[in-house]
Amino acid sequence: MAMAALMMAGLTSHAQFGPGEDGALGGGGVTDPDPDLVLSSVTMPPSIPSGAVLTFPLVINNTPGSYAAPSTVRVQLEVGPFNFVYIDVPVPAFHVSAAQHTVWVSYQLDPTITVPGFTVSTTFVTLDVNNVVAETNEYNNLTVPSISGTVVF
């Protein structure tokens, strides 16, 4: 009778478990490990034509392979002498079966950059910039990869 009342109220047993829980009963329930987003790799073309659209991939891993909500990665680029831009790129949710995502960063370079040998470089990458994913390690979200590409004319 009590189960019928719960079902009629629209409550089901799966509503008791959140994204980080597997729903196993007994022993107080079992939960999956919290996610941990980590920048695995970032690559940039070695040369970039002045005024071109710079596009490069970021590979993000979720190390324990558990659910992680959609988030945003922020990339800071130096795109001209002392000219920094921030690019926010959405990262889809990580499901248990998807432990890695590749997201693409794009930026239209200024065609007036005329500094010979100037390099476009990443100054930092911040994963989960809006802090929507509760991770086991929040301190590894800011990375300073050393990548760059030379602007050619």
In tens, the pLDDT along 85-100 reads 899 999 999 987 668 9
Q: What total of structural domains would you count in the chain?
A: 2
Please name the residue that has the structure tokens 């500094």. Answer: 115
47 and 9, same domain (yes or no) = no
Range of the domain at 1: 1-31
90 and 24, same domain (yes or no) = no
5 and 72, same domain (yes or no) = no
CA distances from 135 to 4, 61, 89, 119, 153 (A): 38, 12, 19, 34, 43
64 and 131, same domain (yes or no) = yes
pLDDT tops 90 at residue 18:
no
- The mean-pLDDT minimum among 12-21, 73-82, 88-97 falls in 12-21
43-47, 127-131, 148-152: which is most confident: 127-131
pLDDT tops 60 at residue 150:
yes
Please name the residue that has the structure tokens 């760059």. Answer: 148
Any idea what the CATH number is for the domain that residue 53 is in?
Answer: 2.60.40.10
Q: Name the pairing type of β-strands 148-152 and 47-49.
A: parallel
79 and 147, same domain (yes or no) = yes
102 and 138, same domain (yes or no) = yes
| Predicted pLDDT at 74 | 94
Q: Name the pairing type of β-strands 37-42 and 71-80.
A: unpaired
Residue 68 binned pLDDT confidence (cut-offs 50, 70, 90): very high
116 and 100, same domain (yes or no) = yes
Amino acid sitting at position 3: M
| Predicted pLDDT at 51 | 83
Q: What is the pTM of this model?
A: 0.72
